[in-house]
Chain A
């Protein structure tokens, strides 16, 4: 009945989900045959013995089922294997590249959340006014603008034409220009974060506005006003929190969407994050990285969903867990 049991149930589903994804990806990778062979097939000077030796090194001579369980057992112990291309432990790579991804995604979602609440409240409290109409049209347009196209426009305007922000990478090679590494890092973050925040803000604003309009019609809002609470307090304490509850669920979905399309974002800005790493890995058939990364992203998604579910229960007293 309690929240603990609910969490345990969700966790069990999550584990099944993560395993399911790993089986799908593993099966696919094995369907193509020996990746080392494919990768090295046309290289001059590589003998069949060398390929066999490398394959043996990566356990590729074992039957797939055995290899899957060996891989799984290693993952459980925290070992994701070694990247074929980079020759580094996949676990370490996922961590460092993952940090870069979070560096743009977490600020983007926080900024868009604050912006969306503010814009939506402004629009909803002036329903059918010109401001409201403007916000609605802007958000509808913004929601349909493909994120990567927004990124391209941002680069064109702010990087190529105005020359304000860098167009690629997370750090400059000529760091002395920017004074300190921190400012340099932040400077590089501006455009990618703006691109992600743009889409999120549009989506969240639309959702939040329609919820606000709905909540503001309720009697308890009128009752709060009739009790003499000032309008600001009625709106922000009584309406926003109620209108926010459905948005919360959506935050998990949005985070998933952002993480899932990280390859696109990071390709546009040549950002050294998980998405960029993933594109390289599938191009070069770096299968330990592909496996590790799909796992990590699924785990992150599942965690985000779980966290929003728990937050939902905490914020809305009406929810009873089945």
Chain B
């Protein structure tokens, strides 16, 4: 391993694992039944989100059922999942909830990933005092009661923006929730990034790259980060499910965006009519369950595929 040509070859070749790493991971993932089930569920949600405008049987704001049969009608052929207490078609509203859910999950994790990878990466790569400080900071965010703080911020921020130019931003309330979920969701990503950076920076191929004079930027972006990605993908998949669930809970409590259609919001509107129109609560609840389950199983399958040694 100390022989120079070998080191040079290792360092100039694409770093250790990719692209073989991804292909191998996919090979293993394909044989993982829970993982494939998760991927299927996630794909369904994505497809619904992309096509809801065409596949939904009604307009999302169509309340005309109110006039024809009245609201809270049980499932029929015309309304497969029934209508809710406002006369909306439940199936349509549930389908239109998919893009909101994905926007929340992906948006929040984008914000969280940027912060988490930055903080975790600096912490793991530099070590020492910077590491100590950043990890204390991370721990702070890990221990505070995030959900409760987010609730307060959403409510209070809603008051602050009244009358300010921010008010013109579409779906401002939803954007705030996404941003907050990201701002409070990064610590687990930071911890994972740090652990991976700590592990990888001692690896021989990184040493080799350093020996042939690769710049720090190159070492981090081309050698360490790509190899840390599999672990990060797992934690981000889990985080997407978590963020979707969190938004559902916030909306269920009535702090969601009244202009957006989200599953939590549907539950909030229909929960008080649970006794007379249970379908209007069960449908969005099941949608949340399937989506969260999909991302959890996907993460489970990915972690088995990328860390085969952990299994058996």
Q: CB < 8 Å: which of A264, A283, A301 contacts B143?
A: A301
Q: Which residues of B contact A285 (CB under 8 A)?
A: 159
Interface contact A21-B249, CB-CB below 8 Å: no
A32 touches B160 (CB 8 A): yes
User: Residue B297 at the A interface, CB < 8 A?
Assistant: yes
Please give, as numbers and ranges, the residues of chain B lying within 8 Å of A264 by CB-CB distance: 249, 252-253
Alpha-carbon separation in the docked complex, A108 to B282 (Å): 24
Total inter-chain residue pairs, C-beta < 8 Å = 118
Contact A143 B144 (CB under 8 A): no
| Inter-chain contact A143/B296, CB cutoff 8 Å | yes
User: By the criterion of a CB under 8 Å from any partner CB, how many residues of chain B are at the interface?
Assistant: 42
A290 within 8 A of B: yes
By beta carbon, the residue of chain A nearest B311 is A210
B310 CB, nearest partner CB in chain A, Å: 9
* Closest Cβ–Cβ distance, residue B28 to chain A (whole Å): 18
B149 and A156 contact, CB distance less than 8 A = no
Chain B residues, CB < 8 A from A16: 140
B293–A144 touching, CB < 8 Å: yes
Name the distance in Å between B63's Cβ and chain A's nearest Cβ.
Answer: 24
> In chain A between 273 and 322, which residues have their CB closer than 8 angstroms to a CB of chain B?
278-279, 282-283, 285, 290, 293-294, 297-298, 301-302, 305
Residues of B within 8 A of A (CB): 34, 136, 139-140, 143-149, 151-153, 155-157, 159-160, 241, 245, 248-249, 252-254, 267, 271, 274-275, 278, 281-282, 285-286, 288-289, 292-293, 296-297, 300
Q: Given A21-B144, A28-B156, decide whether A146 and B248 contact each other with a Cβ distance below 8 A.
A: yes
Q: Report the contact-size class of chain A (Cβ under 8 Å from the partner).
A: 35 or more
Within 8 A of B (CB), among A1-50: 13, 16-17, 20-21, 24-25, 28-29, 31-32, 38
Contact between B145 and A256 (Cβ–Cβ < 8 Å)?
yes
Given contacts A144-B296, A152-B285, A160-B274, contact A279 B253 (CB under 8 A): yes
| Selected contact of A32 from candidates B148, B159, B248, CB within 8 Å | B159
Closest chain A residue, CB of each to CB of B34: A140
- Other than the known A32-B160, A140-B300, A146-B289, what 20 A-B pairs have Cβ atoms closer than 8 Å? A29-B156, A38-B159, A145-B293, A146-B248, A146-B292, A148-B249, A149-B286, A149-B289, A156-B274, A256-B145, A260-B145, A260-B146, A261-B249, A263-B151, A267-B252, A279-B151, A282-B155, A282-B156, A297-B145, A302-B143
Q: Given A144-B289, A145-B289, answer yes or no on A294-B145 (Cβ-Cβ < 8 Å).
A: yes
Interface-centre pick from B136, B151, B248 (highest chain A CB count, 10 A): B151
